[in-house]
Structure 1
Amino acid sequence: MSGSDLPSQVAEIIEECSPFRILVIGTTGVGKSTLINYTFKVEHANVSHLGAGKSNIDDEITFLENPLFILHDSQGLESGEVDNLNKIKDFVKRRMAERKVKDRLHAVWLCIEVPRAGGRLFETGTEELLQLARDEQLPIVVVFTKFDMLLLQERNKLRGKLPKEEIAPAAEKQGERFYEERCVKPLAGLAGNTCCVKVSYNDYTSLIHLVEVTSRLVLSHGEEDVCVVWAIAQRVSAGLKLKASVTVGMKRYWKGVSLKETSCENGFQACLDAIHTDMVSVWNFNDPVDLLSGKEFKDMILHLIEELGPTKRTTDPGDDLTTTNTLEPIAQAVLLIGDHVASAICPSITFVKWLLNTCDLTSDTLKCQMAYIVDLIAILERVLLLMLAKPPQSISLTEIKEAFGAYNGSSIQTNIHKGIRRYVEETDAVHQLDAGNTEKETSRLVREYCGASILTDLKLNRG
């Protein structure tokens, strides 16, 4: 496919707002590098001339595996470090005054280790820094790191005092109580209404909470497109990816405008290609060889939606098809997933010719467009969940095929396609489109059938 005829909504957003620029503040050993590696699924920073434990706040730290964010690193506010506080304040003011959105600072994470003994929690200057962020309308989150170490300490205290099965829940309860008393309440007394999050690096739920809190803060400052870039850059929250997919889709493609703009040369296929490009961009996998943009994966999605397209086509005398209702595949592909085989993942010649030759808005094109969006998002979400279980690495066909196999023929896919048929067949397709209901229905299907429920579906298919 080639969607060059149609502009990419994601490319336009990225051109205006990307990369997402975040400042992370914290003392050496607080866990900043681990936090970044887990949240953005990266390993190696493109930083030069800095020694271990040193940082220059103006340096732009970039990552080859995920170029959609820039990290600025600062040492913490250790006692007596007045110079560092002044550097942070100066940097924030300069960046927030930048004319271009992409050059501004978009968020700050102030990292503080959860205390496990006596000692000072907030250093001198913390309150001043938090006030500066409020004055500059800059989203800031206080990130209490290494909560898992506190839980380990609490479990060790309880060993021998409680039955083995009661230790973990009791330690969790005690840890939460300690966190509220020693972290949340002191922060509220220092700077009320400041957002704080505790994180454990072995608990993706806590990381998801962190990126979603950051997203809400960015959005509360009126930066919707910046919020989309944040959703694209982070690699732990499928929920944010879903929301970004909906936001991007509603800008053009889900309203069917793309079909009206499609050139006769590429037909409806160009519309689907433009959708594919934007949706894959939103999910932002480490995909150096463009597997998710390749023909094999696109054919998988076309195979899924073909059942919603026309089953019979009249052919011109020059067509190389032997019948008018042939559904022969272009090629027989075999997919090994676990212990079973899924074959014929390519669309038929008839269907592909229809995609190329169709430029009109019909009930068939509307059904296929809706299905392409929802099916693609559902599979990309499954890929993300598979990648979360692994260390940072580039995507392979193994994850793509496993995600496709889990979705293809599942009850979720069946229900999605039933919903699309029911919606389109109830009233005239053009009326539904002009009434602004199609994007709402597509969004509803994404929200209803994509999300936490797929975890069960994945386990069933993999088991």
Structure 2
Amino acid sequence: MASSNAPDAPHAASGGTPLKEEIRVKKQLLKDRARDLKRIPVPKMQEALQKMAAMLKTCKKAKNSDEAIRAFISRIDTLEQAIFQPILTEYRQATIGLTEGLTMGLHDLFDEVSKAISGNLPKSKLSPFNTVDVRAPLENVTSVMDEALDALTDKGRMKITLARVRSRSSSEVREQLDLCEPGDDIIGGPHDDGDLEPHVNEILKICPRFRILLLGRSGVGKSRLINRVFNIAEAEVSDYRAGSADIEKEFTSPQNSRFILHDSRGFEYGDESKLNDVKSFIRYRTRKGLKESKRLHAIWLCIAVPSGDERLLETGDEEILGMDVGDVPLIVVFTKYDLLITKAEDIADADWEPTNPKCRVSTLAYEEYQRICQQPLQEALMQFRDRPRARCLHRHISVEAHYDNLVLNLIRTTAEQVGTDVRATWAIAQRVDAEMSRDASIEIGRQTLSTTLYFKDKRLEKCLRALHFDTVTAWNFYDPDNCLRSSDVTKLLSAIVAELGDDDACTDPSADPNQALIGGLSQVGHAGMTVFGMSPAATAVLVPLAAVALLARWIFNVYAQMQVITASYTNLHLTDTCSPSSPSVLRCLMAYIIDINFVLWKLFWFMRKKGGVQPLTEVIVNDIMEVFNASEQKRRIHQAVRDFLQTSGPMARLKGDAVLREVVRLIKEFCQESA
């Protein structure tokens, strides 16, 4: 009879299979996958498979660890279902490959798993009769596996699937495995020959999230700063910062997925070991050769404006300032500038004028800031003049009301200092500067339109959807239901610009796709108005379902005409009479791009006025579009497009960047605060 105090052996799993047998089966599975996936160009995958098998071998000698072992086995099953099986389903075909983004993502996933297991395996070989408690090591490993898999799949929203994507540098369509969001009706189904990959996806494959390190003592206002810049709930940041003081731990928010935060979490610089951890982290995350998505992109050292005679910089601050961080910008952010304004109001016996930077209160506050913040900082930096040091700048901010310009200054300074490969990601991640979002949309669109082969032989509908996706992604609204990415929104905007096609109307509706569209809408419009109680001005936005087929036909027919125009222009045979509908096509294309940017501009300020962290809804989006459709701004935008095409000849319209320059000019003219 066994002794009652003998070490526990692995028991039966919940399904009835003995745990030892489960361990043996999973070890064999990992061995099989290492063989099956040998051709995958991800060496870290093979390394991680071997280490997971080694971890299971250790589990055979485990005591008091059944629950942790089952959890680890469950994560292996998750990898099998989410990673191995989807790849094996298609990868057995020699012609199928992996996109660069998926390859890099798998490398990161299995690198994290491999490092976690290496740090938790027993350091020495166990004797045949020894047992080991693997509960804590397994819990550490499974936690890392969960976080790494969530990062790869966007917490399960992205799936590995076969995608057909047209190369942006040629007309070739390549079939590759990639991470896709099921049911995405903007890009289209993975087996649709008409697929176009939005250009923004290529940008985000290089750097999907902006990685920022926040340093500073407790109480300086770091949580509120992050809440303000990225427009997320402050409670999210506070909950994260209240956790373990591990600077390696990443904070990401479901309300804004385009940034990663690392935080010193309020450690005091008197703690030498924690300061060394921060310095080691900075050295690792700023080293050359590290993949862009893993590098730090900016460091904000937050210091509260002194309220008395206390020392501005602690020893730890100075050590951080003296570090060589390469090309990563280090910005000293002096928080709570509003305290200096309050003090200046008392001295001047006057109220602050937020819109007048030259008022007496503003002048006094800034002079005090120079004395107690700027000058001591410059003196501290002088001690590092003989060695490489951080690219250090300083900005002052407050997150209180009426200090938006100071936060804007910090955001724009960060944008100016970061590398070109991540500047677009920063512009997308921040949610304070509408002009930066607008300009990011313009630049992404410019890169998209500059590659003509990208649109070759494509239906206009697909081209518009790719451009639409690029634009919506650049503005980065909190849109959990994907209201803006819905194909319905594309169709509604198509209906709004359809009026521009009517300028070249022929008497025969069948000869003019826009005339056919308008005629068709008139037949269903009254029914829609009756059912939905719509005003006539709203019918172009809240299009009845019966009109969807007409809209699709309009898009197809307009593009058929565009093919003739493009062919004529390519052969230099285009004349004023060879394609009378060419201005119609260009008007609709130009107006669509300008309209969507203007709608998002107005939506940005509408949500800002609502305040707080609020998700978009279909009602909000439809209301904004309805107001736009009946607005004077829409009339002026569409008239400006008409005027441009009427005053420019056919060659001027199509040659070079004339149309693109005009689109950019009109977006900037109408999407500004004065508008």
Question: Hey, which bits of structure 1, 4+ residues long, moved more than 6 A?
Answer: 44-51, 163-168, 321-324, 333-337
Distance 1:364 1:131, change over 3 A: farther
SS at match of 1:71: strand
What one-letter code is carried by the residue in structure 1 that aligns with 2:583?
A: S
Tell me the equivalent position of 1:460: none
Deviates more, 1:48-57 or 1:13-22: 48-57
2:456 corresponds to which of 255, 260, 266? 260
Give how far 1:35 is off.
0.7
Tell me the equivalent position of 2:554: 354
**CA deviation profile, 1:320-345 (whole Å, cap 9, x unmatched):** x99995552765466999xx984441
Give how far 1:69 is off.
0.7
1:69 corresponds to which of 255, 259, 268? 259
1:41-440 to structure 2, matched below 5 A, reads 41-43=231-233, 52=242, 55-75=245-265, 78-97=268-287, 99-133=290-324, 135-155=325-345, 157=346, 162=349, 170-191=360-381, 194-201=392-399, 202=401, 203-218=403-418, 223-253=419-449, 258-262=454-458, 267-310=459-502, 312=505, 325-328=519-522, 332=528, 342-346=538-542, 352-357=552-557, 358-359=559-560, 360=563, 361=566, 362-389=582-609, 390-429=611-650, 432-440=653-661
Tell me how many residue pairs correspond in the alignment: 438
Q: Is the 8 A contact 2:541 2:629 kept in 1?
A: no
Q: Is the 8 A contact 1:255 1:433 kept in 2?
A: no
Give how far 1:436 is off.
2.2
What one-letter code is carried by the residue in structure 2 that aligns with 1:16?
A: I
Q: Is the 8 A contact 1:77 1:123 kept in 2?
A: no
CA distance in structure 2 between the aligned counterparts of 1:400 and 1:322, rounded to whole angstroms: 27
CA distance in structure 2 between the aligned counterparts of 1:368 and 1:391, rounded to whole angstroms: 36
What one-letter code is carried by the residue in structure 1 that aligns with 2:669?
A: E
Deviates more, 1:416-425 or 1:204-213: 416-425
Distance 1:328 1:238, change over 3 A: same
CA distance in structure 1 between the aligned counterparts of 2:628 and 2:450, rounded to whole angstroms: 22
Alignment of 1:448 onto 2:666:
no
SS at match of 1:293: coil
Q: Is the 8 A contact 1:93 1:136 kept in 2?
A: no
Larger RCO: 1 or 2 (CA < 8 Å, sep 6+): 1
Question: TM-score, normalized by length of structure 1?
Answer: 0.83
SS at match of 1:435: coil
CA distance in structure 2 between the aligned counterparts of 1:335 and 1:301, rounded to whole angstroms: 21
Q: Is the 8 A contact 1:268 1:365 kept in 2?
A: no
CA distance in structure 1 between the aligned counterparts of 2:516 and 2:243, rounded to whole angstroms: 70
Give how far 1:415 is off.
3.0
Deviates more, 1:350-359 or 1:48-57: 48-57
Q: Is the 8 A contact 2:509 2:516 kept in 1?
A: no
Q: Is the 8 A contact 1:255 1:439 kept in 2?
A: no
What one-letter code is carried by the residue in structure 2 that aligns with 1:447?
A: K
Deviates more, 1:36-45 or 1:117-126: 36-45
Q: Is the 8 A contact 1:309 1:367 kept in 2?
A: yes
1:13-32 to structure 2, matched below 5 A, reads 13-32=203-222
SS at match of 1:72: strand
Deviates more, 1:379-388 or 1:65-74: 379-388
Distance 1:137 1:388, change over 3 A: same
Give how far 1:138 is off.
0.8
Question: TM-score, normalized by length of structure 2?
Answer: 0.59
Give aligned-pair identity as a percent.
31
SS at match of 2:196: coil
Give how far 1:30 is off.
0.9
Gaps of 5+ in 1: 455-463
Distance 1:260 1:388, change over 3 A: same
CA distance in structure 1 between the aligned counterparts of 2:292 and 2:351, rounded to whole angstroms: 54
SS at match of 2:296: coil
Deviates more, 1:202-211 or 1:47-56: 47-56
Deviates more, 1:177-186 or 1:34-43: 177-186
Deviates more, 1:114-123 or 1:357-366: 357-366
Distance 1:225 1:408, change over 3 A: farther
Deviates more, 1:288-297 or 1:167-176: 167-176
**CA deviation profile, 1:111-164 (whole Å, cap 9, x unmatched):** 01011211111111434423425x511112111111123323444x35xx8466
Give how far 1:46 is off.
7.0
Q: Is the 8 A contact 2:269 2:275 kept in 1?
A: no
SS at match of 2:395: strand
Deviates more, 1:251-260 or 1:327-336: 327-336
Deviates more, 1:199-208 or 1:105-114: 199-208
Distance 1:282 1:50, change over 3 A: closer
Tell me the equivalent position of 1:33: 223
What one-letter code is carried by the residue in structure 2 that aligns with 1:407?
A: F
SS at match of 2:263: strand
Deviates more, 1:429-438 or 1:364-373: 429-438
Distance 1:345 1:54, change over 3 A: same
Give how far 1:178 is off.
1.3
**CA deviation profile, 1:275-314 (whole Å, cap 9, x unmatched):** 1111011111111111112244334422331122246476
CA distance in structure 2 between the aligned counterparts of 1:89 and 1:147, rounded to whole angstroms: 28
CA distance in structure 2 between the aligned counterparts of 1:165 and 1:44, rounded to whole angstroms: 28
Distance 1:213 1:41, change over 3 A: same
SS at match of 1:292: coil
Q: Is the 8 A contact 1:2 1:273 kept in 2?
A: yes
Give how far 1:241 is off.
0.4
